[in-house]
Amino acid sequence: MVKKDKEKLIDKSIKRQHKLTANGVRVFYDNFEAIRGIDMNIKANKVTAFIGPSGCGKSTFLRLFNRMNDYIEGFRLEGEILIDGENIYKKKVNVEQLRKQVGMVFQKPNPFPKSIYENVAYGLKIQGIKDKKFLMEKVVDSLKQVTLWEEVKNDLNKSALALSGGQQQRLCIARTLAVEPSIILMDEPTSALDPLSTAKIEELIFELKNKYTIIIVTHNMQQAARISDRTAFFYMGDLIEYDSTKKIFTNPEKKQTENYITGRFG
Amino acid sequence: MNNIKKNRLKDKAFQVWGIFCTFLGLVLLAIFIGAILIDGLQRIDWDFITNLPSRNADRAGIYTALTGSVWILALTTIIALPLGIAAAIYLEEYANKGRLSSILEINISNLAGVPSIIYGLLGLEVFVRILEMGASVLAGSFTLALLILPIVIVSTREAIKAVPKSVRDGSYAMGASKWQTVSMQLLPASFGGILTGVILSLSRAVGETAPLIVIGALAYVPFAPSSPMDEFSVLPIQIFNWISRPQKGFEVNAAAAIIILLLITFIMNAIAVYFRNKWQKKLNN
């Protein structure tokens, strides 16, 4: 009895070493199998890059971690996704609560059609926080974290839609940071941005990893090489290779991985 | 003649025909409005608006009919707005997109095409008789609310649908519930579009005659309604009544009342267009 408990405890502590875990994950859209059995562990406070050709399932896999696939018709999941050792697809899990812990930044900047202030304060307001002073502090703090504060400090009441694409994307990151998630998912966050804005976001990601666990989907090999600690290569719904970024980009185990990162296909 | 020339000729011919068709309606409308203005403009003054109905054409005014129309408009808005918007939100955001929802959808569209006199009969039976409201402002408002409900629902759904999916994604990803997303994102973002639809449907309601005649609205009401349970008349009925009188003076009165009615609908449409443009600018920005 005692022995069993101890084993359980050890088992749990092993699980807890990993921020995110996927166990035997398969995803179906009706009869189409988009993810074909993936096991994966992701460590805390690291940047993990998902790479692979379009349609390989990397975005689908990313969206499992904040359950954004739930809205897609015909979506079905097998296996389990654990965050801090807890299965987030269990029945009693509060999806809204989960998403406060797991923030997301989208491919196209998608600020709300509201003021800059309202955009950043939104996540806190929906939690029922009304204290104006606290909200303002949080907004300022979040905007400073994404280095947007200096650019917008006089325009907090202006529409967020008037900002440039790069500014909008940093605003979207700021609004995610405002609710203090522990994980941030980024789905090709720079693919719609110019090189300068991209550089800014990459710098930002580099700084954010001290406090957050970041997963980034990207089509840009150099970007993955520059900013990530570990890289996962997906192909046709399979996880082909997952290792340290250095290893993947200098000496990959699999021929397929090498072909993809050297641009021979995909 | 070679082919190119032939095609150019056809092109030209259609252009001329198209211009003719475009202007036909407009010109006829302009002639009509012109004639009305010539007949009625001289009759419009403050007395015409504030006078009670009278057997004497010179002293007859539209006060009772105008206040009736305002009452009807206000109550119809109060009844149709919450119902229509709630139904639209449900259909657009909550209902499962299955068989049932597509049946509902088709039938709401069909309802928008049901002749208004049918709504009048429904109102007569349900509101006037069964619910014993009598031929009151309230009964008329409920009837017109039913009449415009499908239009409100359809236009509200369009407005909500026009909010980009990325806004919903962003809201849900922040941990918002469905109701929070609806009330804090979708409704504010689609406000202009909803308002446009509502105003356009109300400007239809203000011109409706048949259903109100069926439920028993009167052509002659000695006093303006002062509560929802009072009897009432509305502008279109007043116009209809005056036109059917033999005396020349009432014809002038009718023309003048038509001008007032047109003015009301034009103003409402202008407001609707204004909000639609403003809203589109906001979304496309």
According to the model, what pLDDT value does residue B277 have? Answer: 86
According to the model, what pLDDT value does residue B98 have? Answer: 81
What pLDDT digit, counting tens, does each position of A170-182 carry?
999 999 999 999 9
Percent of chain B with pLDDT over 70: 98
**Residue B23: band (very low, low, confident or very high) from pLDDT cuts 50, 70, 90:** very high
Name residue A186's beta-bridge partners. Answer: A105, A216
According to the model, what pLDDT value does residue B272 have? Answer: 87
- Which residue bears the tokens 């003048």? B256
Residue A2 has pLDDT above 80, yes or no: no
| DSSP secondary structure string for all residues of chain B | --HHHHHHHHHHHHHHHHHHHHHHHHHHHHHHHHHHHHHHGGG-SHHHHHPPP-SSTTT--SHHHHHHHHHHHHHHHHHHHHHHHHHHHIIIIIS-SSHHHHHHHHHHHHHTTS-HHHHHHHHIIIIIIIS---SBHHHHHHHHHHHHHHHHHHHHHHHHHTS-HHHHHHHHHTT--HHHHIIIIIHHHHHHHHHHHHHHHHHHHTT--HHHHHHT--S--SS---STTSB---HHHHHHHHHTSSSHHHHHHHHHHHHHHHHHHHHHHHHHHHHHHHHHHHHH-
Residue A1 has pLDDT above 70, yes or no: no
Q: Which two structure tokens, joined as six digits, stand for B224?
A: 């303006």
**Residue A111: band (very low, low, confident or very high) from pLDDT cuts 50, 70, 90:** very high
pTM for the full model?
0.84
**Residue B280: band (very low, low, confident or very high) from pLDDT cuts 50, 70, 90:** confident
**Residue A118: band (very low, low, confident or very high) from pLDDT cuts 50, 70, 90:** very high
According to the model, what pLDDT value does residue B54 have? Answer: 85
Using CB atoms, which residue from A71, A97, A126 is nearest to B184? Answer: A126
What pLDDT digit, counting tens, does each position of B254-275 carry?
999 999 999 999 999 899 889 8
Residues of B with a Cβ under 8 Å from any A Cβ are: 97, 164, 166-167, 169-177, 180, 184-185, 188-189, 282-283, 285
Mean pLDDT in chain A?
91
Instruction: Indicate if the alpha-carbon torsion angle B112, B117, B119, B122 is positive or negative.
Output: negative
d(Cα B234, Cα B206) in Å, to the nearest integer? 8
A139 Cβ neighbours under 8 A, 6+ residues apart: A117, A120, A121, A156, A178
Interchain proximity A125–B166, CB inside 8 Å: no
Residue in B with minimal Cα distance to A175: B174
Instruction: Indicate if the alpha-carbon torsion angle A181, A187, A193, A196 is positive or negative.
Output: positive
Interchain proximity A96–B166, CB inside 8 Å: no
According to the model, what pLDDT value does residue A71 have? Answer: 86
**Residue B100: band (very low, low, confident or very high) from pLDDT cuts 50, 70, 90:** confident
- Average pLDDT over every residue of A75-94: 93
According to the model, what pLDDT value does residue A10 have? Answer: 56
Nearest one of B211, B233, B208 to B122, comparing CA atoms: B211
What pLDDT digit, counting tens, does each position of B110-150 carry?
998 899 999 999 999 999 999 999 899 999 999 999 999 99
Contacts of B192 in chain A (CB under 8 A): none
Mean pLDDT in chain B?
91
Q: Could you give the ipTM of this predicted complex?
A: 0.90
What pLDDT digit, counting tens, does each position of A235-245 carry?
999 999 999 99
- Average pLDDT over every residue of B27-43: 92
According to the model, what pLDDT value does residue B284 have? Answer: 60
Residues of A with a Cβ under 8 Å from any B Cβ are: 66, 68, 71, 73, 96-100, 103-104, 106, 108, 110-114, 122-123, 125-127, 159, 161-162, 172, 175-176, 179
What pLDDT digit, counting tens, does each position of A7-40 carry?
665 555 555 568 899 999 999 999 999 999 999 9
Name residue A241's beta-bridge partners. Answer: A233
Percent of chain B with pLDDT over 90: 66
- Which residue bears the tokens 């509101």? B127
According to the model, what pLDDT value does residue A73 have? Answer: 86
